[in-house]
A and B are shown apart, each in its own frame.
Chain A
Amino acid sequence: MRALTWHGNNDVRVDTHPDPEILNPRDAILKVTSTAICGSDLHLYDGVIPGLKSGDILGHEFMGEVVEVGPKSTLQIGQRVVVPFTISCGQCFHCQKLQFSACDNGNPVDKQDASEMLYGHPMGAAFGYSHLTGGYSGGQAEYVRVPFSDVGPIVIPDGMDDDQVLFLSDILPTGWMAAENAQIEPGDTVAVWGAGPVGLFAVQSAMLMGAEQIICIDHHPHRLELAQKFGAKIINFEETHVREALMEMTGGIGPDAVIDAVGMEAHGFVIDNVLDIVKQKIAPGADRGHALRQALLACRKGGRVSVPGVYGGMLDKWPLGAMMEKGLQIKTGQTHVQKYTKDLLARIQEGEIDTTFLISHRLSLEEAPTGYKNFRDKQNEWTKVVLKPGMGA
């Protein structure tokens, strides 16, 4: 089969690999029909996430048709399913508490050592990502092996297009959980850093959860326009003093909740960020956290901080004093995708949530390397790339 393969920083290619096989009783094999490039794939492309190996197949946002099942899979051949990016067993303590991304049993035992040393506990598993999260082959391929297929994949009803439901795999639940973690109350202002896919879904979700005012911060005009379309007010950080603006737009109080949908590769020419970029060039594992620092300082006293943005390593100049003295609450984590898919599918069906607006480009699998390059370098126009393995190059 053909698959998008990581070979090193800024080097992804479509290579030929052997087709995947059923290895465990709960496995299924999918023929991939649609798969997206995620902002967190760009962290791999840029080499700021440790634990990649040359030859790894990327991709954790995908859906497809079931073509083969293990004896304990509950799927049927021919069903169309969307697969959560988190690989979760459904049986352990964490899964039963619906903390699916913290699953004890998805990450192969020998792959758990590195994150156990780094973080004190082993990470859960994900498709097409670092070997810290299992080294599973991803879905930017013609076929993919899906473990625990009786728990994760959600079956898509006939009549719904791939483009409507594909984002149930990651970014829609991630935006939803980001808004949920902001614990929105009536009258709240919610500030969202980053009008990328997660930020835009966080905006839509916060609106549905009853926020009074949503303010989205970015520097790409087109992305800000999309946020505006969903009813957010916008701040272009290249033109505006963000913190002053947030104070003035909230009657001198500050946002009640802040969402960092940017993560470890924050942009902006400010001194803390420049220092962080230098550190990140020296070694993967150092985080660039300008957006998060700004969010912590902007948040009102006693407010809530939600961090869906991806961080992997250490961050210094962390305003711990601001957190403590203002009494901020912080909620974060990889998304517990399986907890949200059913409800969000229903909301898409009912027209409450729009997903297709985000897709700027549909490419064949063979064109995936171009997709990576442009999704990173032309962020204003390339808001989301969906690869269609069935499409001719």
Chain B
Amino acid sequence: MAHQHAQDDAPKRTQRDDKDGELAILGKSVTINRPRSELFAYWRDFTNLPSFMHAIESIEVTGGQRSVWTVKAPAGQKVTLETELVGVVENESIGWRSVEGSQIRTAGVVTFKDAPADRGTIVTAEIAYEPPGGDIGRLVAKLFMAEPNIQARHELKRFKQLMEAGEIATGANHKSDDGEH
């Protein structure tokens, strides 16, 4: 008889088997010392996302639910991706997924929960994507998946810096350098 394991409380994305069907899942949480409604409102306006998601060049809202994302690709190339909003709950969650026929198959959701004892808001972003396959898959892998968890962590941290400090920290000394010299 198979031994019955107790289900642990860790989120799916931290489990050793982090696949959901055909899609790979990544995600990160960050606690931001600002009210939930303020963070939700900033994220809900997709044209704000490139300010902290550095892989995205621009997002154009094309209809009530749809938007076209222009993503930076290697060698100065650009890839576009059309997404639609799904499951938007005021001050709680914003979901999106690539539309039918899109070159890149991906879906994401960001949730906003009150942190305990007035410590602000726990923001969790989870992104599911199709693992690489074919030419497009390889391009997507280069774009998103070199170290996708690190990229997700960086984006959420930039969001936190922007919301808490009002600016994104840089060690640079001039507009023309990146702090690495």
Q: A residues bordering B, Cβ < 8 Å? A: 17-18, 20-21, 23-26, 53, 55-57, 72, 87, 89-93, 96, 104-113, 125, 131, 134-137, 145, 147-148
Contact = CB atoms under 8 A, between A and B. Distances in A.
* B: contact size bracket: 20 to 34
A50 B111 CA distance: 37
Contacts of A26: 165-167
Main secondary structure on chain B at its contact with chain A? loop
A23 B164 contact: no
Given A87-B169, A135-B179, 13 more contacts: A17-B173, A18-B173, A21-B175, A23-B174, A26-B167, A93-B119, A105-B161, A105-B165, A109-B168, A109-B169, A113-B150, A137-B171, A147-B169
Contacts of A91: 33, 164-166
Interface of B: 31, 33, 119-120, 150, 154, 157-158, 160-161, 164-175, 179-181
B174 A53 contact: no
- The list of the 3 closest CB pairs from A to B, nearest first, reads A89-B165, A135-B171, A24-B167
B171 A20 contact: no
A20 B172 CA distance: 9
Contacts of A24: 167-170
Contacts, number: 88
Secondary structure at the A interface, as helix, strand, loop or mixed, is loop
A178 to B, nearest CB: 28
A107 B172 CA distance: 12
B53 to A, nearest CB: 12
A44 to B, nearest CB: 16
A92 B173 CA distance: 24
Contacts of A134: 169, 171
A108 B173 contact: no
Contacts of B33: 91-93, 96
A25 B161 CA distance: 13
